[in-house]
Amino acid sequence: MKFILQSKLFHPFAKYLGYQRCLQLDDLRIKKSDSLIKDNSEFFRNKEIQNQDSLNIDSKISSVTGWVPYIKDKTSLIVYNFFSVNYSLRKNLILQINIIKNHNIYFVRYLTLKQNEILELSRDFFKSCKIDNGLIVLKLFHPNIHKNHGGHGGAFRFWGKYFDQDQRYLSTVHSLPFGYSRFSKAQIHSRNYFPSNFKTKNKIMNVSLIKDEISHKNNLLRIGGYNLVLDENNNPYSIWHLGPAFKKSEQNIDLKINYQCFWVPKNKNINPRIVIDEKETLLNQNESQKLTIKILYNNKIIEQKEIFYKGFFEKSIKEIFGLNYQFEHIVFLEFNSRQFSYAQINYDNDFHGDQVHTHESNYILNEKEKLISVKNDLKKNCRKFMHLHLSKNYNNYLIIHNLKLKDNELKKIKIRLIANTFFEKVELFEILDNTMIKVFDINKLFEKEISSKNLKKAIVQIESEDGNFNCSLLCQNVISDKIIIDHLTGG
């Protein structure tokens, strides 16, 4: 079937059978007369490319690709050369940057991505591009990148950062790979929602890889992509990628209990909105779901509620408990699912907040409020990372979800600050089994280094030989309580 969908003979009939054309890797190739760059080129060693708009790279050279939505004057990119740290590829790489609308390329640049480099491509970098929105697609080349790195023909992780017209930081999201056939059908996806506190003056947007990539409709059927909530000035306050496509056949799997949790910093008006999607839990529309929500502080239950409902669930903490909790706390969730599934959290304040999925909780508080583990993990390793926003009035918190190792209470981790000047600072920590979540204030932990080095671009990385920890990075505007958040990635 996949061969048929890729065949040119299928093209004239695709739309009549409900298929839509999706952007492919070969759509990024531009015919050029420049001399061909092959795998022995000096550009893959020490020679640098300085913002060129044309380059003829041999299509046989290994590459990775990713994309995020583009909104004119509101978008910047963070690109980190994790290949040099995580995969020992300590050579120059070639970065191709494209802005695409309706499958046409409106902007293309080529840069060198050097060893350990952290690039921030701000709105000024894209100022010559005239279109209002579309896709930003990045492609990274080097002969020594493993073929099909990360799957989907080669997946490249970077981040989109989104701002308002006054360059106030609003939201962030990691890139997605090219994961669809040339012709694909829209499907029901989990996480394809827009918050119910959406107002008519706000805008909703889905961005995907189809030819008409921007949709402002709340459609049930999608070809994946991202959902965004924008205000009347086109400022993207919240962004998230859709979840897996819904498969009705999986609704026959037995139910099991899911334990999830998330952390909330000290605040004045953060009101997290909890979403549990039956298209992810795979419960039937007429099947009753039991949701237990607990507010935890210092391993004590401050408040809890049980809610029974059917179908899709969405409520804010204030709607559930009648107030916002202004102290630092953990929100613990227990619900049923037919497969491992996440809850979705919008960190609202006075307006829509950025969105992230929860992580599994490996610990629970029992009836006597004693912290106990619910499963043992095998010893694994990780090197996960995320970008920091080092500006005045923003705090960055690294949230590590603890795990239980069999016959081992102590887990060692390294937290590494990596800056763009070949500077790094490493702090060593031990995590015991006495906490569900461990939070590190990165601004305080590396206060001296950030100040003395006047750091503007930096990555935080967690490294461990004991466990593959789930982590998120939460950035808080301490004036407005605006939260920007995403989970860490291993690249």
Question: How far is residue 60's CA from residue 136's CA, in Å, rounded to a whole number?
Answer: 23
Return the pLDDT at 275. Answer: 98
User: Which tens digits make up the pLDDT trace of 116-150?
Assistant: 999 999 999 999 999 999 999 999 999 999 999 99
Q: Are residues 428 and 445 in the same domain?
A: yes
Question: How far is residue 475's CA from residue 478's CA, in Å, rounded to a whole number?
Answer: 9
In a domain, 344, yes or no: yes
**Coil vs helix vs strand at 454:** coil
Return the pLDDT at 4. Answer: 56
Residues near 37 by beta carbon (within 8 Å), at least 6 away in sequence: 43, 55, 56, 57, 58, 61, 94
Per the prediction, the chain carries an average pLDDT of 93
- Range in 34-38, 79-83, 457-461 the model is least confident about: 34-38
Question: How far is residue 481's CA from residue 394's CA, in Å, rounded to a whole number?
Answer: 9
- Range in 49-63, 153-167, 290-304, 383-397 the model is least confident about: 49-63
Domain that holds residue 76: 19-174
Amino acid at 238: S
Q: Are residues 165 and 30 in the same domain?
A: yes
For a pLDDT cut of 70, what percent of the chain falls above it?
96
Q: Are residues 265 and 129 in the same domain?
A: no
Residue where a domain stops, chosen among 116, 139, 174: 174
User: Which tens digits make up the pLDDT trace of 328-375?
Assistant: 999 999 999 999 999 999 999 988 899 999 999 999 998 888 999 998
Residue 365 tokens read as 């508080």
Q: Are residues 59 and 130 in the same domain?
A: yes
Return the pLDDT at 164. Answer: 96
User: Which tens digits make up the pLDDT trace of 245-275?
Assistant: 888 888 888 999 999 999 999 999 999 999 9
- Per the structure, how many domains does the chain have? 4
Burial 204-229 (b: 16+ CB within 10 A, else e): bbbbbbbeebbbeeeeeebbbbbbbb
Rounded to an integer, the average pLDDT of 279-302 is 95
In a domain, 398, yes or no: yes
In a domain, 14, yes or no: no
Look at residue 2 and tell me whether its pLDDT is greater than 60. Answer: no
Q: Are residues 78 and 130 in the same domain?
A: yes
Return the pLDDT at 420. Answer: 82
| Sheet strands (E) in 158-312 | 159-163, 169-174, 183-185, 187-188, 203-207, 214-215, 221-222, 226-230, 236-241, 256-264, 271-276, 288-297, 300-310
In a domain, 64, yes or no: yes
User: Which tens digits make up the pLDDT trace of 3-32?
Assistant: 555 555 556 656 658 899 999 999 998 777
Q: Are residues 359 and 338 in the same domain?
A: yes
Q: Are residues 160 and 121 in the same domain?
A: yes
Bridge partners, residue 396, by sequence: 475
Distance of CA 193 to the CA centre of its chain: 17
Residue where a domain stops, chosen among 372, 397, 415: 372
In a domain, 9, yes or no: no
Residue where a domain stops, chosen among 241, 260, 284: 241
Q: Tell me how far apart the terminal alpha carbons of the chain are, to the nearest angstrom.
A: 31
Q: Are residues 311 and 354 in the same domain?
A: yes
| CATH number assigned to the domain comprising residue 440 | 2.60.290
**Coil vs helix vs strand at 16:** helix
In a domain, 12, yes or no: no
CB 294 within 8 A of CB 332: yes
In a domain, 388, yes or no: yes
Q: Are residues 353 and 422 in the same domain?
A: no
In a domain, 403, yes or no: yes
Residue holding tokens 């999925």? 357
Q: Give the residue among 359, 170, 347, 322 at the shortest CA–CA distance from 265.
A: 347
Q: Are residues 69 and 46 in the same domain?
A: yes
Residue holding tokens 């394809």? 192
Rounded to an integer, the average pLDDT of 406-424 is 90
pTM: 0.95
Q: Are residues 132 and 212 in the same domain?
A: no
Q: Are residues 460 and 472 in the same domain?
A: yes
Return the pLDDT at 5. Answer: 56
